[in-house]
């Protein structure tokens, strides 16, 4: 998924809604959040420090005992910085407590309640369409989690770290994303083509 292009496109809009959408998509992607977890984030779940942010969910799908799941997202000086995007949104919306990601009316009034999980799909597809991506019909909120896993693998992240960031219970799920990411990198046909071996 071309998140950098989406983020740049949203930044060019200069609206409150664009600030919210950029923060939501970046936090969702780099945090490996499920859509229900993403819209359930509240201000007091976020801890800010010199290195970035830590978001602690009091309960998640894979944390049935309610001990909480903490996800750290570092600051970045690249095109995407979820922590900076989140601060911009919170300041722009004047949100100091309660749900982080909220509805915005057609008159640019920020609501009091958190977004519905289904809204994540709508926001992602709308932002991708705005960025003129060709594969909008293929996108869903799950694209954020899958994209985090595949991009992290391609960037050299360890299997354990990918699994932890996405809070996946089963190794097989993560392995499936890794295999998807390596279809061209770890490819027998590609090896043959690079070696220019002639058929017998």
- Determine, yes or no, domain membership for 90: yes
- Determine, yes or no, domain membership for 192: no
- Determine, yes or no, domain membership for 181: no
pLDDT band at 186 (very low <50, low <70, confident <90, very high): low
Instruction: Give the model's pLDDT for residue 51.
Output: 95
- Determine, yes or no, domain membership for 53: yes
What are the pLDDT digits (tens) for 59-86?
655 555 556 789 999 999 999 999 999 9
- Determine, yes or no, domain membership for 147: no
Domain span at residue 115 reads 3-140
- The pTM (predicted TM-score) of the whole model is 0.83
- Determine, yes or no, domain membership for 88: yes
- Determine, yes or no, domain membership for 72: yes
Task: Quote the number of domains for the chain.
Answer: 1
- Determine, yes or no, domain membership for 149: no
Statement: residue 200 has pLDDT above 50:
no
What are the pLDDT digits (tens) for 17-75?
999 999 999 999 999 999 999 999 999 999 999 999 999 988 655 555 556 789 999 99
* CATH number of the domain residue 68 falls in: 1.10.443.10
What are the pLDDT digits (tens) for 111-149?
999 999 999 999 999 999 999 988 887 777 677 888 787
pLDDT band at 161 (very low <50, low <70, confident <90, very high): confident
Cα–Cα distance measured from residue 37 to residue 46, given in angstroms and rounded to the nearest whole number: 13
């Amino acid at each position: 998924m071309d998140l950098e292009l989406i983020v740049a496109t949203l930044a060019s809009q200069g609206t409150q809604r664009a600030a919210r959408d950029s923060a939501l998509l970046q936090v969702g992607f780099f945090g490996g959040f499920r859509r229900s977890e993403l819209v359930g984030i509240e201000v007091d779940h976020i801890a800010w420090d010199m290195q970035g942010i830590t978001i602690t969910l009091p309960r998640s799908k894979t944390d049935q005992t309610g001990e909480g799941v903490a996800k750290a997202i570092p600051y970045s000086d690249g095109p995407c910085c979820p922590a900076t995007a989140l601060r911009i949104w919170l300041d722009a919306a004047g949100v100091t407590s309660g749900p982080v990601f909220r509805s915005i009316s057609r008159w640019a009034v920020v609501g009091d309640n958190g977004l519905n999980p289904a809204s994540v799909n709508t926001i992602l597809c709308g932002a991708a369409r705005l960025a003129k991506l060709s594969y909008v019909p293929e996108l869903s909120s799950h694209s954020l989690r899958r994209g985090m896993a595949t991009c992290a693998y391609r960037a050299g992240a360890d299997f354990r770290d990918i699994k932890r960031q996405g809070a996946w219970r089963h190794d097989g799920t993560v392995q499936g994303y890794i295999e998807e990411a390596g279809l061209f990198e770890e490819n027998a046909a590609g090896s043959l083509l690079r070696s220019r071996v002639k058929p017998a």
